[in-house]
Amino acid sequence: MRTKVAIIGAGPAGLLLGRLLENAGIETVVLERRSADYVLGRIRAGVLEQGTVELLDKAGVGERLHADGLVHDGVEFCFDGDRHRFDFRALIGRTVTVYGQTEVTRDLMQAREFSGATTIYEAENVSLHGFDGDQPRVRYVKDGIEHELSCDFIAGCDGYHGVARASLPEEAIRTFERVYPFGWLGILVDRPPVADELIYAHHERGFALCSMRSHTRSRYYVQVPADEKVEGWSDDRFWDELRRRLGGETAERLVTGPSIEKSIAPLRSFVAEPLRFGRLFLAGDAAHIVPPTGAKGLNLAASDVGALAEALVEFYAERSTAGIDGYSARVLSRIWKAERFSWWMTSILHTFPDTDSFSRRIQRAEFDYIRGSRAAARSIAENYTGLPF
- Concatenate the DSSP letters of all residues of 304-353 into one string: HHHHHHHHHHHHHHH---HHHHHHHHHHHHHHHHHHHHHHHHHHHHSPPT
Q: Which of 72, 202, 203, 350 is catalytic?
A: 72
Sign of the Cα torsion 91, 93, 99, 104 reads negative
How far is Cα 101 from Cα 218, in angstroms, rounded to an integer? 14
Q: Which uninterrupted H or E stretch holds 226? A: none
Q: Which of 12, 136, 193, 292 is catalytic?
A: 292
How far is Cα 131 from Cα 136, in angstroms, rounded to an integer? 4
- Concatenate the DSSP letters of all residues of 283-304 into one string: -GGGTEE--GGG--HHHHHHHH
Q: Which of 200, 220, 221, 327 is catalytic?
A: 200
Annotation marks residue 296 as catalytic = yes
Q: Which of 203, 296, 327, 350 is catalytic?
A: 296
Buried b (16+ CB within 10 A) or exposed e, 158-178: bbeebbbbebbeeeeeeeeee
What does DSSP assign to residue 262?
E
Burial (CB < 10 A; 0-12, 13-18, 19+), residue 229, is exposed
Q: What's the residue count for the chain?
A: 389
Q: Which of 180, 221, 327, 384 is catalytic?
A: 384
Choose among 243, 208, 207, 225: nearest CA to 351. 207
Annotation marks residue 337 as catalytic = no
How far is Cα 44 from Cα 60, in angstroms, rounded to an integer? 22
Helices (H), the chain: 12-23, 36-41, 50-58, 63-68, 88-92, 101-115, 163-166, 235-246, 248-253, 297-318, 322-349, 357-372, 374-385
**Active site amino acids:** 72, 200, 292, 296, 384
